[in-house]
């Protein structure tokens, strides 16, 4: 009997499944982080090997019984980076005498998309610290928009919202902007009481800009006008993501699923975004994904094997 392994690689932890060749999940397990942009590649390979070994031991099989391993992780949307991890991982597995013929590294968004829509077109909108959208048409072709990072992109993300919130506070500190609840939140929760302290924390102490986003949502719930305006503008940016991917995918009725901490939970921003979609995007339906990302990796593995045969 032959098997497939699918891994959803995260920055804090990774989820793994092993299945038969009919995509029937036989076992699930977890390990440490496998984001090779954040952690040393040797540590990432060690954690991936740990997942594979755990699956092998559970099912009492050898590496030769594993037909393919597909790993979805952040940063792998760039082919050069994906090939780098693939090469390093093959070498690492070979050193452990656990060679596997087909190893594929792809973007975490792609496995999430395949899991959500295994047999149909659709798109997945991701908004957490950053933002990006992936779409799939009727031919199974993939499309990607956004994901340019916080320096030139990430509209509608925690970073973008946090940055705009901090900008509003800086204006309040200077007296060149309107009063906002955000200033009190910054003072109370981050112990920052002046413009100079804010500059020091942001530019010298690597302040986590995205960590301020939840306070923008909290202020909006309390009818803070500046926060409401920020979230309206950021939601409109995500609406533009969906409009554009719908055009690229080329279908009249598009199903979309949400992922990422900023929009997958029930809060002010996700509620606002859902209302904007319902009122302003006819033919777009928000649904729950059919499968989790790690199962999407299994489904991709089957497609890769089919292409090889």
* Per-residue pLDDT at 76 exceeds 90: no
Percent of the chain at pLDDT above 70? 98
- The band of 164, judged by pLDDT with boundaries at 50, 70 and 90, is very high
| Mean pLDDT, residues 128-142 | 90
* Per-residue pLDDT at 219: 97
What pLDDT digit, counting tens, does each position of 184-214 carry? 999 999 999 999 999 999 998 889 899 999 9
* Per-residue pLDDT at 204: 87
* Per-residue pLDDT at 39: 72
- The band of 80, judged by pLDDT with boundaries at 50, 70 and 90, is confident
Rg value, the chain, Cα: 22
Answer yes or no: same fold for 3-118+291-308 and 123-286.
yes
Identify the CA nearest to 32 among candidates 12, 58, 17, 55: 12
Q: Domain 3-118+291-308 falls in which CATH fold? A: Nucleotidyltransferase; domain 5 (3.30.420)
- The band of 78, judged by pLDDT with boundaries at 50, 70 and 90, is confident
* Per-residue pLDDT at 223 exceeds 90: yes
The residue extents of the domains of the chain are: 3-118+291-308, 123-286
* Per-residue pLDDT at 82 exceeds 80: yes
Model pTM? Answer: 0.83
- The band of 233, judged by pLDDT with boundaries at 50, 70 and 90, is very high
* Per-residue pLDDT at 169: 96
- The band of 102, judged by pLDDT with boundaries at 50, 70 and 90, is very high
* Per-residue pLDDT at 31: 85
Contact between residue 112 and residue 300 where contact means Cβ atoms under 8 Å apart: no
Identify the CATH assignment for 123-286 out of 3.30.420.40, 3.40.50.150, 3.90.550.10, 3.30.465.10: 3.30.420.40
* Per-residue pLDDT at 74: 74
Percent of the chain at pLDDT above 90? 65
* Per-residue pLDDT at 12 exceeds 80: no
* Per-residue pLDDT at 240: 97
* Per-residue pLDDT at 155: 95
* Per-residue pLDDT at 147: 85
């Amino acid at each position: 009997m032959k098997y497939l392994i699918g891994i959803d690689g995260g920055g804090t932890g990774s989820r793994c499944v092993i299945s038969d060749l009919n995509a029937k999940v036989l076992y699930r397990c977890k390990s440490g982080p496998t984001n090779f942009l954040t952690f040393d590649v040797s540590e990432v390979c060690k954690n991936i090997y740990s997942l594979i070994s755990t699956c092998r031991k559970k099912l009492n099989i050898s590496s030769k019984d594993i037909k393919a391993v597909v790993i979805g992780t952040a940063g792998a949307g760039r082919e050069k980076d994906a090939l780098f991890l693939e090469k390093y991982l093959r070498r690492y597995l070979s050193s452990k005498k656990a060679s596997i013929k087909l190893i594929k590294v792809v973007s975490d968004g792609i496995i999430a998309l395949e899991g959500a829509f295994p047999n149909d077109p659709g798109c997945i909108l991701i908004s957490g610290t950053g933002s990006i959208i992936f779409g799939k048409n009727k031919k199974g072709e993939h499309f990607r928009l956004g994901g340019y990072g916080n320096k030139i992109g990430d509209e509608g993300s925690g970073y973008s919202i946090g940055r705009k919130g901090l900008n509003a506070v800086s204006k309040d500190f200077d007296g060149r902007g309107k009063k906002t609840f955000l200033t009190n939140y910054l003072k109370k929760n981050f112990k920052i009481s002046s413009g100079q302290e804010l500059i020091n924390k942001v530019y010298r102490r690597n302040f986590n800009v995205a960590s301020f986003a939840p306070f923008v949502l909290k202020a909006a719930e309390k009818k803070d006008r500046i926060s409401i305006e920020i979230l309206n503008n950021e939601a409109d940016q995500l609406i533009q993501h969906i409009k554009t991917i719908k055009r690229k995918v080329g279908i009249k009725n598009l199903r979309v699923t949400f992922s990422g901490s900023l929009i997958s939970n029930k809060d002010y921003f996700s509620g606002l975004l859902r209302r904007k979609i319902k009122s302003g995007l006819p033919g777009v339906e928000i649904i729950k994904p059919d499968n989790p990302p790690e199962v999407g990796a299994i489904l991709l593995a089957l497609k890769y094997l089919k292409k090889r045969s």
